[in-house]
Amino acid sequence: MDIQELFDTPRKIGMFAGSVAFLVLFPAYFAWMPLVDEGIVSGGSGGSGNWEVGFMETPIVLQDTQVMGDGDTHDTFFDVASEMNIGYIELDIDCNDNDDPGPGFTDSAEGTSDVSGAIGDFEDQSGDGMCSGGDSGFTLRWDVTSNYSGSNYTASGMSESEIRAEWNDDGLGRGTWAATITADISSPPSPLGSIVDSDEEYEITWTAMTYELIIQPAVEMEA
Ligand SMILES: [Ca+2]
Ligand SMILES: [Ca+2]
């Protein structure tokens, strides 16, 4: 078969052109698809549009209980390492003083953080609160991902990669978070006061809330 025979009819020429187009487009398609999966480029109709954005959260928790007398202090440490994005770091101190008969003389908790061992430009915080049970005591919280709430929302007029770029912890928040907790014990002013109430149990809970971003096209509701 010579070259003349290959291209002697319009149909054969057409088939040859189609084959060449296929050979060029096929590898190009497979080079492009992984970029779509990675969210580096936006695919097809889903370029800029409406997206449902959600956060699948997994907490890393460290819990400890300390019984402390009046004026006692306790240093607590939380070592954080995670491959996932971190939404926020939280320190929660809970206590419930039910030692005194009747109302009043409620113990309290106070604390100050030391964030110098954590990667990032975090500011130290302090807090205090009464030991009145439930979610009393105090809570300190730092956003590692800016403006993190973990609430689902609908994004409009953005590409998937723009949304992913917005929700990122930039590798911050790893390292050692620390705080010093101080007990304030209140007891009735009598010789028996310190027998009635001389200490309190403080529950210390550190949480690093990690998340995975879930992005899917919003379902268009036709009116
Ligand atoms: Ca008390
Ligand atoms: Ca007490």
Q: Is 44 part of a structural domain of the chain?
A: no
Q: Is 79 part of a structural domain of the chain?
A: yes
Q: Is 223 part of a structural domain of the chain?
A: no
* Ligand 2 geometric centre to CA of 198 (Å): 6
Q: What is the pLDDT of residues 78-114, one digit of tens each?
A: 999 999 999 999 999 999 999 998 889 999 999 999 9
Q: Is 150 part of a structural domain of the chain?
A: yes
Sheet containing 126-130, strands listed edge to edge, beginning at the edge strand earlier in sequence: 73-80, 175-184, 108-118, 126-130
| In a shared domain, residues 108 and 184 | yes
Per-residue confidence band for 7, with pLDDT thresholds at 50, 70 and 90: low
Q: Is 133 part of a structural domain of the chain?
A: yes
Helix (H, G, I), strand (E, B) or coil at 65: strand
Burial class (CB in 10 A: 0-12, 13-18, 19+), 143: middle
Per the structure, the count of domains in the chain is: 2
Q: What is the pLDDT of residues 9-34, one digit of tens each?
A: 767 666 656 565 555 555 555 555 55
* Structure token pair of residue 70: 């009046």
Q: Is 124 part of a structural domain of the chain?
A: yes
* Ligand 2 geometric centre to CA of 163 (Å): 49
| In a shared domain, residues 159 and 63 | yes
**The residue to which tokens 């200490």 are assigned:** 199
* Ligand 1 geometric centre to CA of 207 (Å): 28
Max CA pair span of the chain: 117
The boundaries of the domain holding residue 26 are 9-38
| In a shared domain, residues 113 and 33 | no
Q: Is 166 part of a structural domain of the chain?
A: yes
